[in-house]
A and B are shown apart, each in its own frame.
Chain A
Amino acid sequence: MKLLHLPLPRLLLLSVALFCTCRLGAQAPVPAPVPAPTLEQRVAGLEAYLANGDPGAALKDAKGAVPAGLTSPSVGTAGPGHNGFMMLCTALVLFMTLPGLALFYGGLVRTKSVLSVMAQCLGIAGLVIILWWAFGYSLVFGKSFNSPFLGGSEYFFMTGIDSAPNTDYAAWVSQNIFAMYQLMFAIITPALIVGAIAERMKFTAVLVFTACWMFVVYFPLAHMVWGSTGYMNGVWNAGASIKAIDFAGGTVVHMSSGWSALVLCLMIGPRLGHGRTPMPPHSLVLCLIGTGMLWVGWYGFNAGSAVAADGVAANAFTTTTLAAAIAAFTWGALEFVLHRRASVLGLCSGAVAGLVVVTPACGFITPGSSVLLGVLAGAVPFLACSTLKPFLKYDDALDTFGVHAVGGTLGALLTGLFATAAVNGNLATNLKDVVGRTLWLEQLKAMGLTIVLSVAATAAIAFLVNTFIGLRTSIESEQEGLDFSDHGEEGYILESKS
């Protein structure tokens, strides 16, 4: 079956099938080792491709089992429309980190630290790719442990992952592409944390922290939410203890990174001179460019989370657009009302907040709900960043907590209230008694578990890293800027006209 996507054997089989059907029409069967699919079954397989359905469904007999050896050319092969779409979505999610997030964050720090956040994004990308190849994908999407908390060991070192689909997760997308797509999520999540601890954490400490954090927080959480045997995978796991939903990563990506960022920035302490010296963004131009790239890339993140170019993806695309635009406008409008000026940073922050809040919901809510969600996404993180932070005086340098933790938490809750089976038929199976009723309670449980895991694990990891190699760079290095002290470079050397 796995071989079917290779042209040669597929066609051999095809000719065998052709041969057999012709003969069958004529007279009693020759000893045929493989039962041939009927034309009806083959057409049904092709129709399944259009609607992202299961091409094997039509092969089942009255008892619901597929006769031994029966298959059709549509089974076990990736579908070009879906597969091509997912490759592009994967590239788009990488684009969010490199260079989107690197620019967004890079523009918000001071000149002397711009390269350090870029290096952190690049370093995390390299590190996580290696971890994901070796263990990560398997621990999240394997199932040999048959555990609600971790996947399995069958895909370690990407063994057996080829271009055939893994039908646990997608009927028409190559498993290697699915693995790469999910890898890009695993890259951006720890990279988001960088925003809270920018300009003062040692590069080596960032990498060591990330390596531990991936194993303790990200891999288990991603399995719980998205793994086929996951603890909180309400949509796909009939036996999930918490029947929560998270379309594109409100809990896994934004809450986990945001809450971890808060704990880490409290433990590492504020930047030198925080509250006394002004630390304005060195280039809002870069920040704006990064925001635009994040928005564009986020379509890969949200629509791609349907793991198909189907109607669910289309709905996610639509709600993402509406929520992001309305949140940007709301944040800017609030600034205009309160301070008489709508700032570029405000509009950018609003767009990102809108994208964060709609992330868990985008594939489950109607466009109408996404408008309301956009308004809330502009208002609540705005208050968190402009009121909560000065009040509590923590130094969340680039507002990872204010935008991602607050936004992600808000989004997870709103998803519970707005989700409807009308835009996503998958909500009408395992969750049909929950959606529209007690889903928000399930969401609260998932949020609680995510917060407890992120906060406790981050505190423990940060403490260990601090003990062994130290979290913070020296005072002189921090004053001089991490660009030189950690990387030996400068971001801009504009004057040398020699």
Chain B
Amino acid sequence: MKLIIAIIKPFKLEEVKEALAAAGIEGMTVTEVKGFGRQKGHTEIYRGSEYTVDFLPKVKIEVAVGDDAAGKAVDTIVKAAKTGKIGDGKVFVLPLEEVVRIRTDERGESAV
């Protein structure tokens, strides 16, 4: 099992969600986050005093998938979230040891 963590531009969230659903992947956790990578922050000026915003708003998506679906999920996210411009974000894939569905106590891939 894999845990896929994707950091994307906020306005791409809806497209990524729809694309993943179309690819048969249901369920995700979304968090509004801030961060920076190669995309630089920007500078705001308030009556002459500068205010540099280093951290830009992004959305973090977490999706747990079975090993077979991981590649397809990553491709889907990348395709849907791409604008080709700097600041599109990143996708991280991590091994996942255990998954438990709280309601039924199911464990492993059937709980994903």
Contacts and interface: CB of A to CB of B under 8 A. Distances in A.
Interface of A: 272-273, 276-278, 476, 479, 484, 488-490, 493
A497 to B, nearest CB: 14
A278 B10 CA distance: 12
B44 A272 contact: no
A489 B46 contact: yes
A276 B9 CA distance: 16
Contacts of B14: 273, 276-278
Interface residues of B, number: 14
B42 interface: yes
A488 B45 contact: yes
A368 B9 CA distance: 55
B15 interface: yes
B85 interface: yes
A425 B21 CA distance: 67
A479 B11 contact: yes
B9 to A, nearest CB: 7
A488 B53 CA distance: 11
A488 B85 contact: no
Interface in B6-50: 9, 11, 13-15, 18, 42-46
**Which secondary structure dominates chain A's binding surface?**
loop
Most buried by A among B18, B45, B51: B51
Contacts of B53: 490
B11 A277 contact: yes
Given A272-B11, A276-B14, A278-B14, 17 more contacts: A273-B11, A273-B14, A276-B15, A276-B18, A277-B11, A277-B13, A277-B14, A476-B85, A479-B9, A484-B42, A484-B44, A488-B43, A488-B45, A489-B46, A490-B44, A490-B53, A493-B51
Interface in B46-89: 46, 51, 53, 85
Contacts of B18: 276
Contacts of A276: 14-15, 18
Contacts of B44: 484, 488-490
Nearest to B53: A490
By Cβ-Cβ distance, the 6 closest A-B pairs, closest first, are A277-B14, A479-B11, A488-B44, A489-B44, A276-B14, A488-B45
A87 to B, nearest CB: 32
